[in-house]
Amino acid sequence: MPDAAAVLARITALSPYFAVSTGPVPDGLWLPTSTLRDSMIRDPLVSDTAQRMGTGETRVAASTLFFGYAARMWSVALGSVVDSGRCVRLDPDTLLWCNDGGLQLHIVDPDFGSAAGEILDTQLEPLIVAWSDVVAPGVMWGNSASALIGAGRVIGHAAQAHIDTLFDDPRLDGTMVRSTARRRSCCLYYRVPGGGVCGDCVFPSPPKASTKEIP
């Protein structure tokens, strides 16, 4: 029987996005990730992200913050499945976060969940609903899909079958043009000073500032 804490320790070597600390709660202000749905918690975090990015656009900072969070979720979920055959449970009430120059994640007593797909139900969809007053849901679903593919690239070929299964979910199906690996929306990073378009962006080059986001 694989040990969830040992799995998390192993996959941390892949990238910082795979890092989840375990054991007693470290020093700092740690909160359940479910609190990210609360605008009173979200708004200062988005403002901090905007300041670090040098943008005055809340939706751009929120999109970037969500993208990074989705990447963390998929990295840990896929990484644990590929490593052990089981997905570490990322329950929003027991997965803790702390803003220490970026989101840090911690689970006191990790165990395994049912499948990587539960990330959509327990983490990403509730956050998309809660943040829809700040950034368009279509942008965040596109971020979710792009982050899933990005996590898979870090892991390698062993993750592909899991990614294909996850894209059967109607919430992700249609977010990407699979034949070209381009998404149907834009994460808005081009609006950051000095920013550009990502390799999978719906836009082949940075659009004019007046261009509306694709929802």
Q: What is the pLDDT of residues 7-34, one digit of tens each?
A: 999 999 999 999 999 999 999 899 999 9
Segments of the chain assigned E as strands: 21-22, 31-32, 95-99, 103-107, 176-177, 182-183
The identity of residue 3, as a single letter, is: D
Q: What is the pLDDT of residues 170-201, one digit of tens each?
A: 999 999 887 787 899 999 888 988 888 888 88
Query: What is the average pLDDT score of the chain?
Result: 92
Q: What is the DSSP letter of 88?
A: B
Instruction: Return the closest-CA partner of residue 47 out of 33, 28, 35, 60.
Output: 60
Tokens of 101: 């120059």
Q: Per-domain residue ranges for the chain? A: 4-191
Q: What pTM did the predictor assign?
A: 0.92
